[in-house]
């Protein structure tokens, strides 16, 4: 069984299905399911889907962003990932293209938010985790209305202070969402830091 877990880890399979394990072991699913349920290094997410747990604990961003494919962690959880907020995240928001029920991973609440394919962009792989860029995390937050605007302001100001955000890219992403309300909120966000965008003003 350890060889199977090593093989999954080798292929960056932090989250895996029973089909993945059965294929590697070349054994029936029922047999594999019993082995997995008795292994302390394996934890069940939902029926037929598991994640690996090692002595160092878990990376909730890796697991949350691999439950559904494709998907990425965004919004307030992304702010915490980039350490641009002093608030404590209570729910990890995962943006995806298809519906999925909420999950609990090691007492961490994970929600899945469905958006249209044309708005599904602006994320990157960091390690084994898929996380929105800081620009897309801000745009997603303003588009979806969560977290509160004051939290987004805090993250934006800190991102500017640390020179880790591109205002031009933020504007690009805002316009790419094709939602005037989002563009208007991004303009408000920029004005809070005395930044003005002709492109946004023209779009409005």
CATH of the domain at 18: 1.10.10
| pLDDT, average across residues 145-156 | 95
Burial of 87 (0-12, 13-18, 19+ CB in 10 A): middle
Query: Taking a C-beta distance cutoff of 8 angstroms, is the pair 68, 98 a contact?
Result: yes
Does 121 lie in the same domain as 104?
Answer: yes
Instruction: Give percent above pLDDT 90 in the chain.
Output: 64
Q: Say if residue 144 is in the same domain as residue 109.
A: yes
pTM (predicted TM-score): 0.90
Give the pLDDT confidence score for residue 12 in this predicted structure: 65
How many structural domains are present in the chain? 2
The domain of 92 spans 60-203
- Both 65 and 45 in a single domain? no
Residues 184 and 163 in one domain: yes
**Run of H or E including 74:** strand 71-74
Task: Report pLDDT for 56.
Answer: 66
CB 156 within 8 A of CB 193: yes
Say whether both 125 and 31 belong to one domain: no
Residue 66 shares a structural domain with residue 44: no
Say yes or no: 34 and 83 in one domain. Answer: no
**Do 173 and 121 share a structural domain?**
yes
Let me know whether 90 and 114 are in one domain. Answer: yes
Q: How confident is the model at residue 82 (pLDDT cuts 50, 70, 90)?
A: very high
Please state, as a whole number, how many other Cβ atoms lie within 10 Å of the Cβ of residue 200: 19
Half-sphere exposure of 60 (CA within 13 A, CB side): 21
pLDDT for residue 145 is more than 90: yes
């Amino acid at each position: 069984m350890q060889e199977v877990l090593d093989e999954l880890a080798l292929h960056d399979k932090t989250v895996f299905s029973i089909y993945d394990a059965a294929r590697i072991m070349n054994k029936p699913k029922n047999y594999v399911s019993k082995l997995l349920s008795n292994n302390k290094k394996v934890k069940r997410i939902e029926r037929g889907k598991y994640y690996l747990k090692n002595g160092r604990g878990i990376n909730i961003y890796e697991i949350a962003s691999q439950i559904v494919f494709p998907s990425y962690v965004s919004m307030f959880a992304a702010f915490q990932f980039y350490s641009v907020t002093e608030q404590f995240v209570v729910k990890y928001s995962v943006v995806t293209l298809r519906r999925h029920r909420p999950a609990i991973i090691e007492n961490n609440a994970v929600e899945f938010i469905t958006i249209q394919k044309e708005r599904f962009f602006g994320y990157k792989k960091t390690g084994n985790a898929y996380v929105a860029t800081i620009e897309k995390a801000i745009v997603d937050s303003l588009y979806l209305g969560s977290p509160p605007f004051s939290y987004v302001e805090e993250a934006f100001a800190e991102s500017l202070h640390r020179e880790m955000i591109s205002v031009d890219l933020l504007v690009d992403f805002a316009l790419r969402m094709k939602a005037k309300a989002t563009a208007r909120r991004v303009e408000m966000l920029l004005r809070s830091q005395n930044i003005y965008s002709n492109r946004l003003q023209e779009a409005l």
